[in-house]
Structure 1
Amino acid sequence: MTAEIDYEAEYNNRARVPDHPALIAGWARDAQAYRASRPNLFDTISYGPGARNTIDVFPSRSEGAIVVFIHGGYWQALDGSFFSHLAAGLNTHGISVAIPSYDLCPQVSVDDIIAQMRMAARALARLGRCLVVSGHSAGGHLAACLMATDWRSIDAALPEDIVKAAYTISGLFDLGPLVRTSVNAALGLDRAGAKRASPLFWPVPSGGSLDAVVGADESAEYFRQSRTIADTWRRGGIETRFAEVPGANHFTAIAPLADPRSPMTLRLLELALHR
């Protein structure tokens, strides 16, 4: 008989990584330092009416795609200002990076956050460049949602390929298991709502590519989530890759983005420059 999965243990990342407070404090410190080092080289634009409907843009000289990084926090914590330093790796190569914030649950729903990230992508598309969308944890979910969006159905004036690739880091693509965890106290998802907000169950994108990477020290469920969407979308006809981030837990899996020489940064560079 198959043992029942303890979803609380599988998805409670703060319990799995006891030193997470120091890691999150480190993000805030490094992000502030990176902004301070470039006082005239980043800007914040609004994409909607709310105070959190903003995008920090770290421009650079390349004519390649803009790389978007969407933060995690289980749709209920943090904002883009914790992650400014993650633009450093790609900025070194001349790639522009955009880091949006969004409203949080329970003040809004997961569906609302998906809609907000679509608004952010439309605002960035007006800059005249296509997008490579990356994201961590809940941000990986949102990156996949943008990749799988039928943009013409939202705005007939938009090109179909405004998002040409997604790069997800320890993402979540099937929200069903979260219904039975403490994470759901703020999300308020029932089974139907969880399935509706899960890009795993949406039509496979008609083009582009997906990289689904996961920290090597993550739970089995995080491995299952990334492997499943990579396998499903590959069977649907698009290029996908699955990979591990060596030695990384849920909170350290994003650290390679700050390193210009890391395989993660170099893969995103390749995606941004590929035509």
Structure 2
Amino acid sequence: MSGIDYEVEYNNRARVPENPALMAGWARDAAAYRLQRAPRSMRYGPGSRNTIDFFAGDGQGPVVVFIHGGYWQALDGSSFSHCARGLNSHGIDVAVPTYDLGPLVSIDTIIQQMRAAARELARLGRPLVISGHSAGGHLAACMLATDWPALDTSLPTELVIAAYAISGLFDLVPLVETSINKALGLDGESAKAASPLFWRPPAQGILDAVVGEKESAEYHRQSRTIAESWGAAGIATRSGTIGGANHFTAIAPLAEGGSPMVLRLKALARR
């Protein structure tokens, strides 16, 4: 037995009681930004949630993608439009996809949907920097570790040049015995299969894995372990903390053009 109470470690809503107000703030800020800078709507599949909000910058260089969290079972991209603001202020294009949710679909299906979204964005003819929060951080790492030409010979090996995972989950096995799994239906085998920590590491690219200072020890372990594992395999990795942040405030710097988070993403997109 590990001796770790995974329910306590991964139940972020219980850890941050003020989460309803923080999430309401996301929706409010996102709606305000959409009024200020209306996105172009793109589709990557036939489903009602197979959409991408594209917040145009100057149309130059890589596109930064932001994938939302919600433990693969809640929320959608429209609550995170304001996360494009900081990068847009530097002229960087930002794409915010939405995906189907558990229990209607599996995590594997969501991974496939985000690959389909990346393939649609590849039609723009520019590389992608994939960022994401929580479950979105997991999906960002999955995109970096994807062998794109194996899926479609027309796609470049370096379609995804970097992943920036905020409070990401890369080892899903600890979730199996938690209440989070009620909507996900994972067992040990499927959890490991959906965990990028256990995949073949990316052959190229950069991974940043950052986590809020006030998050649980397991979230810190998740980011540290993926950075160490993939770094040992030969790609450039960083792990770090977001000072004073909990799981819900960790993404706040994305809305500020001068924040270290935005400046790092700008560097990844403009390198």
TM-score normalized by structure 1? 0.98
Measure the CA separation in 1 of the matches of 2:59 and 2:147. Answer: 27
Q: What is the aligned partner in structure 2 of residue 103 from structure 1?
A: 100
Does residue 132 of the first structure (1) align with residue 126 of the second (2)? no
> Which residue among 247, 250, 253 is the counterpart of 1:253?
250
Structure 2: segments with no counterpart, 5+ residues: none
Structure 1: segments with no counterpart, 5+ residues: none
**Deviation of the 1:200 alpha carbon:** 0.2
**Deviation of the 1:35 alpha carbon:** 0.4
**Deviation of the 1:63 alpha carbon:** 1.1
> Which residue among 216, 220, 223 is the counterpart of 1:223?
220
Matches for 1:7-18 after TM superposition, within 5 Å: 7-18=6-17
1:164-195 CA distance string (max 9 Å, x none): 00000000000000001000000000000000
Percent of pairs identical after alignment?
Answer: 68
Q: What is the aligned partner in structure 2 of residue 21 from structure 1?
A: 20
**Runs of 4+ deviating beyond 4 Å:** none
> Which residue among 251, 260, 265 is the counterpart of 2:262?
265
**Superposition RMSD in Å:** 0.8
**Deviation of the 1:3 alpha carbon:** 6.5
Does residue 155 of the first structure (1) align with residue 130 of the second (2)? no
Q: What is the aligned partner in structure 2 of residue 143 from structure 1?
A: 140
Does residue 212 of the first structure (1) align with residue 238 of the second (2)? no
Q: How many residues align?
A: 271
> Which residue among 183, 199, 208 is the counterpart of 1:186?
183
Measure the CA separation in 2 of the matches of 1:20 and 1:114. Answer: 26
**Deviation of the 1:17 alpha carbon:** 0.2
Does residue 117 of the first structure (1) align with residue 114 of the second (2)? yes
1:206-230 CA distance string (max 9 Å, x none): 0010000000000000000000000
Does residue 169 of the first structure (1) align with residue 161 of the second (2)? no
1:230-260 CA distance string (max 9 Å, x none): 0000000000001100000000000000000
